[in-house]
């Protein structure tokens, strides 16, 4: 069997591997299959028209140099475009590219137009089964989360202004990526979706997609399991406005961060818009690769604070107006004075007030509002975070929080770290990988081991068991 083409391509790869990032090499060169070489033409097989066009746009220089080195100045490259392991249309169609000559006056080779009917394109859409054309991609947006329902105040004015600028010119402002961060319930998801809805209305030709970080991660894992990772990559690289909610959930997921890094680069380099939300600013995110964090800082990071009194009143008035309800001004003021943490709690209090009035057939007044508030404040459990757990555990064991991050085998530090992991697993929704990355930079297996160790000690050591009960009480205060 003639292996001359294999040898030529292997020699090319040796040079290319040393000149492109490892993720780019794995994504764009490892899938290529050399087929034959004839008359100074090397034929290679690529998995899709998009794949072929991207090689032409991004790597034509390195391809031409390495192939000339192997075949001489008359070297040509021929592509066989194959998708889903089947030839397009009735057979495999070659697209031949002659590399530009050394003369600077000679125009640079443009990508060959791949003549393929849209109906033949079968890149898998991870949001549907089994596949769908690009034009039919559901943006996954909630119609109610629009700019008309978003109340502006001092707490969010910068973020809203930046969001409107992005909606009017996606990918064309300095706000790329637009990174929105705040505590839970302050409207960052609403604002991110409002931008997507506005873009959909003003630029119907653009493809908009909203997805939370956990769903993105699960889709990626599924694509690896089904051996269609490239389809996953190509799908997300087609998006014009990509909205990723709660990017902090990427913490500790190295492979997910790796693929998102590549998607981010492609979209940003091609002038597409990225909108990201998080519960922390980029500088405070833990368990994330530095190269990804640096890209989060390229655009604008906009903080969204808890709403002030006037904004809370405006939110309540907008809500009752949209629902067609008439509520006295003093009742709205009572709610706005006592519910201050976030918009979600404020709207929840209003819903409870309406429910109590309807079910108990009572008029809506300040007395009923105070009863609802007392019940909500009494039953509203404080949200427990991993950072809060670390602080409470360290205070109990009389050590500094920073010591949990140290690489040490000291018994008191190791045990405190294990206890912090135990409570983080049982009292938060964070993944094992995220818990480990935030507590000592450990992996998910270490967290599992820590939880088993703590459970064993609870059953066998009464003193330790009492310590766990004492810490739990402090966390629930």
Whether residue 172 is found in the same domain as residue 287: yes
386 to each of 20, 280, 425, 475, how far by Cα in Å?
38, 13, 9, 11
Q: What is the mean pLDDT of residues 248-256?
A: 90
Parallel/antiparallel/unpaired status of strands 300-303 and 178-181: parallel
Neighbours of 71 (CB within 10 A): 19
CATH number at 324 reads 1.10.8.60
Give me the pLDDT at residue 103, please. Answer: 32
Give me the pLDDT at residue 411, please. Answer: 87
Q: What is the mean pLDDT of residues 152-171?
A: 89
Give me the pLDDT at residue 333, please. Answer: 80
Q: Is residue 134 part of a domain?
A: no
Share of the chain above pLDDT 70, in %: 85
Whether residue 363 is found in the same domain as residue 325: yes
Q: Is residue 435 part of a domain?
A: yes
Whether residue 161 is found in the same domain as residue 294: yes
Give me the pLDDT at residue 393, please. Answer: 92
Is the model more confident about 155 or about 10? 10
Q: Is residue 138 part of a domain?
A: no
d(CA 416, CA 401): 10
DSSP per-residue letters across 336-369 = HHH--S-HHHHHHHHHHHHHHHHHTT----HHHH
CATH number at 173 reads 3.40.50.300
Domain that holds residue 85: 4-114
Show which of 275, 303, 331 is a domain's final residue: 303
User: Could you tell me which of 82, 5, 3 has the C-alpha nearest to residue 37?
Assistant: 5
Prediction pTM value? 0.54
Whether residue 18 is found in the same domain as residue 81: yes
Whether residue 163 is found in the same domain as residue 278: yes
Write out pLDDT tens, residues 49-75.
Answer: 667 777 777 788 888 888 888 888 888
Give me the pLDDT at residue 125, please. Answer: 62
Q: Using 50, 70 and 90 to split pLDDT, how confident is the model at 377?
A: low
Write out pLDDT tens, residues 445-477.
Answer: 899 999 999 988 988 888 898 899 889 888 876
Give me the pLDDT at residue 92, please. Answer: 40
Give me the pLDDT at residue 1, please. Answer: 43
Strand partners, 33: 45
**pLDDT of 382 above 60:** no
Is there a contact between 252 and 287 (Cβ–Cβ < 8 Å)?
yes
**pLDDT of 402 above 50:** yes
Whether residue 346 is found in the same domain as residue 209: no
DSSP per-residue letters across 151-172 = PP-TTTHHHHHHHHHHHHSTTS
Which residues, 6+ apart, have CB-to-CB distance to 378 below 8 Å? none
Q: Is residue 294 part of a domain?
A: yes
Whether residue 166 is found in the same domain as residue 296: yes
Write out pLDDT tens, residues 71-83.
Answer: 888 888 888 876 4
Show which of 361, 379, 397 is a domain's final residue: 379
**pLDDT of 401 above 80:** yes
Strand partners, 77: 42, 97
Q: Using 50, 70 and 90 to split pLDDT, how confident is the model at 123?
A: low
Q: Is residue 133 part of a domain?
A: no
Q: Is residue 141 part of a domain?
A: no
Share of the chain above pLDDT 90, in %: 24
Write out pLDDT tens, residues 284-298.
Answer: 888 888 889 989 988
Q: Is residue 136 part of a domain?
A: no
Angle between helices 329-338 and 366-379 (to 10 degrees): 20
Give me the pLDDT at residue 154, please. Answer: 80
Is the model more confident about 109 or about 196? 196
Whether residue 226 is found in the same domain as residue 186: yes
Q: Is residue 143 part of a domain?
A: no
Domain count, the chain: 4
d(CA 372, CA 189): 27
Whether residue 362 is found in the same domain as residue 404: no
**pLDDT of 111 above 50:** no
Whether residue 390 is found in the same domain as residue 416: yes
Is there a contact between 238 and 272 (Cβ–Cβ < 8 Å)?
no
Show which of 334, 354, 379 is a domain's final residue: 379
Whether residue 324 is found in the same domain as residue 360: yes
Backbone angles phi, psi at 425, to 5 degrees: -70, -40
Most confident of 43-52, 156-165, 354-363: 156-165
Whether residue 317 is found in the same domain as residue 298: no
């Amino acid at each position: 069997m003639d292996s001359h083409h294999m040898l030529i391509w292997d020699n090319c790869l040796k040079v290319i591997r040393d000149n492109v990032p490892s993720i780019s090499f794995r994504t764009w060169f490892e899938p290529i299959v050399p087929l034959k070489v004839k008359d100074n033409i090397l034929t290679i097989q690529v998995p899709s028209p998009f794949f072929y066009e991207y090689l032409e746009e991004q790597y034509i220089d390195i391809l031409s140099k390495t192939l000339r080195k192997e075949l001489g100045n008359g070297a040509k490259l021929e592509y066989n475009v194959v998708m889903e392991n089947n030839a397009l249309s009735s057979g495999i169609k070659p697209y031949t590219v002659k590399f530009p000559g050394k003369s600077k006056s000679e125009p640079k080779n443009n990508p060959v137009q791949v003549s393929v009917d849209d109906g033949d394109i079968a890149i898998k859409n991870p949001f549907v089964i089994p596949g769908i054309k690009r034009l039919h991609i559901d943006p996954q947006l909630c119609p109610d989360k629009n700019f008309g329902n978003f109340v502006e105040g001092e707490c969010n004015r910068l973020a809203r202004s930046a969001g409107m600028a992005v909606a009017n010119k996606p990918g064309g402002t300095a706000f790329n990526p637009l990174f929105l961060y705040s505590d839970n319930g302050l409207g960052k998801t609403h604002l991110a979706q409002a931008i997507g809805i506005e873009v959909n209305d003003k630029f119907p030709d653009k493809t908009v997609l909203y997805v939370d970080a956990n769903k993105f991660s699960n889709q990626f894992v599924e694509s690896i399991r089904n051996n269609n990772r490239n389809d996953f990559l190509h799908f997300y690289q087609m998006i014009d406005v990509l909205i990723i909610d709660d990017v902090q959930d990427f913490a500790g997921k190295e492979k997910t961060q790796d693929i998102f890094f590549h998607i981010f680069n492609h979209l940003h380099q091609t002038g597409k818009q990225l909108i990201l939300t998080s519960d922390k600013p980029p500088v405070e995110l833990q368990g994330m690769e530095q190269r990804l964090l640096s890209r989060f800082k390229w655009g604008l990071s906009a903080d969204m604070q808890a709403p002030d009194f006037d904004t809370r009143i405006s939110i309540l008035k907008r809500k009752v107006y949209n629902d067609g309800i008439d509520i006295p001004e003093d009742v709205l003021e009572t709610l706005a004075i006592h519910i201050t943490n976030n918009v979600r709690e404020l709207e929840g209090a209003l819903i409870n007030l309406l429910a109590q009035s309807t079910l108990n057939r009572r008029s809506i007044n300040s007395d009923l509002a105070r009863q609802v508030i007392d019940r909500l404040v009494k039953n509203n459990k404080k949200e427990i975070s991993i950072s809060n757990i670390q602080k409470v555990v360290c205070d109990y064991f009389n050590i500094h929080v920073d010591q949990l991050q140290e690489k040490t085998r000291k018994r008191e530090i190791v045990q405190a770290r294990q206890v912090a992991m135990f409570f983080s697993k049982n009292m938060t929704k964070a993944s094992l990988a995220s818990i480990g990355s935030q507590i000592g930079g450990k992996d998910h297996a270490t967290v599992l081991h820590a939880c088993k160790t703590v459970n064993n000690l609870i059953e066998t050591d009464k003193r330790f068991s009492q310590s766990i009960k004492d810490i739990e009480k402090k966390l629930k205060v």
